[in-house]
Amino acid sequence: MLVKTSRNILILFVIFVLAIFVPDFYWKIFEKNIRAPFVLYSPVIHDFIISKFDDKTMVRMDNEGNLLTRDEYEELEPLFFYRQIVMTGKMPDSLDGMEIDIQELRRNNFSYRIKPDAIEEPFIQLYPLLESKSGRAKLEMPDEFIRLQNRCEFINCESNEVVEDLSETFSKAFTDIGFKFPAAKIFGNPTTRKPFDEGYFITDSAGDLFHLKRVKNKPYLKKVNRPNGVNVKYIVVTENERREFYAILVSEASKIYLISYNDYEFINTPIEDYDYRVHELMMRGNILYRSFTFSSDDMIRMVVTDREYNKIDQYDEEWISRENTSAGKFSKMVFPFTLSIIDAKEPFINFYFLFSDTRALIGIFISLIIAVILYLRKKIKLKFIWIDYIVILLTGIFGLIAVLLVRYEE
Amino acid sequence: MFASIMYKEWLKIRWTYLGGAVLGVFIVFEIFLNLGQIIEFNKANSVWNYIIFQKYLFYSDFQFLPAFIGLIVGIAQYFPEIQDKRLKLHLHLPMRENNLLLSMVAIGTVLLIIIYSFLLIGLSLVTLIYFPYEILVSLLNTVLPWIVAGFVIYFIAAALFIEIRWARRILIGVIAFAFVSMFYYYMGYDSFNKAIPVFTIIALSLSLLILLSGYRFKRGTK
């Protein structure tokens, strides 16, 4: 009995490893690089321009499909390629009636990216609270890190001990404003490589949002009023010198808001169908427009707005995903499922199953026939190996390989 | 009976085991010295920042230690059994063969639990000298897969050495190598937090693999 169990464990173990490595090798051989197109909005022709890879060569075109040379392409988006355009002396004097000042143009260009795997990425919950008004030209890393568990504790890094007076002052500010410990999520940029410091945006255990800064060693703590029904999923604190918005906020419902410097007012963005679990989001801005681009492995959408976030235009493109190429269709027949311990959209190692559909029956059927033929030739009675057939029925080719490798012991 | 098996197993592996313990203590001590030096040459806050946000694993030297200890203990315990087919003698002892084999694995497992716990306590003390408990918790979460890998290698070593046919040995070896490599996939600290229960269950179930090898051994050497 135990010996049988031992054989079954070995079979399952082999299947587990095969289901991870065989599809992985398969795709290493057959996968074609499908790269998302790169889309920009031209302030010259007020339309999209696209660059993408056709096999290995870069192709640039306008939205009608007319091919463009590299120079033509770059001249259509002088705000994005301003370094090159200034160098060639082709920068227009004005765009959309706005005079072009290179300094202003540079100051207004920005971009932020939100990847699905960043949203749940695990971090040790200790954060440096930088002094935001130190009177120094450069930001400095503080001597203490904060912990927001039962209260706001400052831990001195040198001594590894709690600094009582600072902890008391800050904890009092937290309780006074109605913060419910412990903190749920803490968002910010714990680095000195930024122009200034806006501290952290923090959600408490009740889901409320707060803004914390350290100003001359005193707490600056504000409760941020959220519009009804907006629950915080993720926040990118921008710390951009234009001081237009503190942060980009992604809600639980995958809506994107900007938290403005105007009394933390939430600015709505006209982005639809975005899903933070699958899409990688890129927000870009320049002196004339804002753009929100999100993409997955088979589509891209770009929404262009004016600086007041009114929608101007939208670009959509879809392509054949890996699953729908001929190699993908064949894999659906061969593998009833595949398993991976990593997923580009997830920050954790886990067991990511990808199940096939009815097409898998073909592979399972063929695997079963092979097993029946082999077992009949060996004249092994069904009562000893019925479990092998069940294994193959459930796991197809992986089960077949496993039961053949770990043969029945008489 | 069990006590005498325990004594016999201990005689086989004691020097290897103590050697593994000495190596482990040496590596934990080296991690301690390295940390002291890093903090001496850098500001403590930038070390914290580097560990927390750059995900620097100051204990990465520990990574392959449990696997190495699992391997040498497995070799010391099971390699002598196949020299001159000594295991055959044991199988004649007044004890059922499965119980005998499982006792051998249990003894090795307990010894590994002791040595790993001992090393983890050392590593935890070193960590708590310089860092708060949050960093220790993430260390334990991150080290756990490496520890489980140590048990996997030990169980596999047992099944491999008792196995008599090379074809089967190669199969188990290749599959186990592929499996163990998963434990060393690096995505920063805490990345195994969701998967480690299932990995542990799979690892524990591999302790039974020795039975199939033992059965084949008995049949093959009759």
**Domain coordinates in residue numbering, chain A:** 2-32+326-405, 38-107, 110-285
Provide, as residue numbers in chain A, all residues whose Cβ is less than 8 Å from the Cβ of B43. 141, 157
Average pLDDT of the residues in B111-134? 97
Q: Do B171 and A406 touch (CB under 8 A)?
A: yes
Kindly report the nearest CA distance between residue A312 and chain B, in angstroms. 38
Most confident of A380-384, A403-407, B114-118: B114-118
Nearest to A2 among B129, B193, B208 (CB): B208
Contacts of A228 (CB under 8 A, 6+ apart): none
Q: Tally the domains of chain B.
A: 1
Provide CB contacts within 8 A for A308, sequence distance 6+. Answer: none
User: Is residue B16 domain-resident?
Assistant: yes
Q: What local confidence, expressed as pLDDT, does residue B221 receive?
A: 58
A/B interface, count of CB pairs below 8 Å: 125
pLDDT by residue (tens digit) across A189-198?
999 999 999 9
The beta strand positions in A63-126, using DSSP E, are: 94-95, 98-99, 110-114
Q: List residues of A whose CB lies inside 8 A of any B CB.
A: 2-3, 5-7, 9-10, 12-14, 16-17, 20-21, 121-126, 128, 141-145, 147, 155, 157-158, 160, 190-191, 341-342, 347-351, 405-406, 409
Average pLDDT for residues B120-137, to the nearest whole number?
96
| Percentage of chain A lying above the pLDDT 90 cut | 87
| Cα nearest neighbour of B194 on chain A | A350
Q: How confident is the model at residue A3 (pLDDT cuts 50, 70, 90)?
A: confident
Measure CA A303 to chain center. Answer: 18
CB A246 within 8 A of CB A198: yes
A181: three-class secondary structure by DSSP: coil
Nearest neighbour of B187 by CB, restricted to A158, A347, A409: A347
Q: Give the B window 2-41 contacts with A, CB below 8 Å.
A: none
Task: Calculate the alpha carbon distances from B133 to A1, A160, B38, B123, B138 in Å.
Answer: 46, 10, 19, 13, 9
For A188, nearest residue in chain B (alpha carbons): B53
Nearest to A160 among B131, B179, B210 (CB): B131
pLDDT greater than 80 at residue A13: yes
Lowest mean pLDDT among A133-147, A351-365, B72-86: B72-86
A53 has pLDDT over 60: yes
Edge-to-edge strand list for the sheet holding A290-295: A110-114, A280-285, A290-295, A299-305, A311-318
CA distances from B173 to A127, A207, B161 (A): 44, 50, 11
- Chain A residue whose CA is closest to B179: A17
Cα distances (Å, whole numbers) of residue B205 to A6, B75, B148, B171, B194 = 9, 20, 12, 17, 19
Nearest-angstrom CA–CA distance, A332 and A26: 12
Q: At what angle do helices B209-221 and B97-130 cross, to 10 degrees?
A: 140
Strand A266-268 versus strand A280-285 pairing type: unpaired
Least confident interval from A159-173, A373-387, B3-17, B140-154: A373-387
Q: Is residue B57 part of a domain?
A: no
Suggest the residue from B55, B144, B194, B213 to mutate for an interface test with chain A (most A CBs closer than 10 A): B194
**Cα–Cα distance between A334 and A364 in angstroms, integer?**
8
Q: Judging by beta carbons within 10 Å of its beta carbon (0-12, 13-18, 19+), is residue A149 exposed, middle or buried?
A: exposed
Q: Which positions in chain A touch B210 (Cβ < 8 Å)?
A: 6
Phi, psi of B81 (to 5 degrees): -65, -30
According to DSSP H, which parts of chain B are helical? Answer: 2-41, 44-53, 65-82, 87-90, 97-130, 133-162, 166-182, 196-205, 209-221
Interface test with A, best of B211, B216, B217 (most A CBs within 10 A): B211
Confidence of residue A382 (pLDDT cuts 50, 70, 90): confident
Query: Cβ–Cβ of B45/A157 closer than 8 Å?
Result: yes
pLDDT at B94: 67
Owner of token pair 């040379």:
A69
Q: Which helix (H) or strand (E) holds A236?
A: strand A232-237
The two structure tokens encoding residue A232: 């915080």
B129 — contact with chain A (CB < 8 Å)? Answer: yes
- Count CA atoms closer than 13 A to B13's CA, side-chain side: 29
Quick check: helix, strand or coil at residue B114?
helix
Note whether B211 contacts A13, CB cutoff 8 Å. Answer: no
Phi/psi for A112 (5° steps) reads -135, 145
Q: Which chain B residue has its CA at the smallest distance from A128's CA?
A: B49
Q: Does the residue B101 lie in any domain?
A: yes
If one counts every other C-beta atom within 10 angstroms of the C-beta of residue A258, the result is: 20
Q: CA neighbours within 13 Å on the CB side: how many for B171?
A: 22
Q: Choose among B13, B126, B109: nearest CA to B62.
A: B126
Using alpha carbons, list the distances in angstroms from residue B58 to B31, B105, B136: 7, 33, 11
| Cβ atoms A288, A279 nearer than 8 A | no
Distance CA A121, CA A115 (A): 10
pLDDT digits (tens, 9 = 90+) for A275-306: 999 999 999 999 999 999 999 999 999 999 99
Question: Are A341 and B47 inside 8 Å of each other by CB?
Answer: no
CB contact under 8 A, B45 and A128: yes
- Residue B217: pLDDT band by 50, 70, 90 thresholds? confident
Q: B206 and A9 in contact by Cβ < 8 A?
A: yes
Q: For residue B186, how many other CB atoms are within 10 A of its CB?
A: 12
Query: Residue B110's CB: how many other CB atoms inside 10 A?
Result: 11
Q: Which residues of A touch B212 (CB under 8 A)?
A: 3, 6-7, 10, 409
- Which residues in chain A are contacts of B52 at CB distance < 8 A? 123-124, 126, 145, 190
CA distance A405 to A10: 10
Residues in chain A closer than 8 A to B179 (CB atoms): 13, 16-17
| Token digits of residue A390 | 């069940």
Q: Which residue range(s) make up the domain with B69?
A: 2-52+62-221
CA–CA distance, A189 with A238 (Å, rounded to integer): 8
Q: Taking 60 as the threshold, does the pLDDT of residue B222 lie above it?
A: no
Cβ contact A157–B198 (<8 Å): no
Mean pLDDT, rounded, for B49-68: 96
Asked if B212 lies within 8 A of A7 by C-beta distance, the reply is yes
Q: Give ipTM to 2 decimals.
A: 0.91
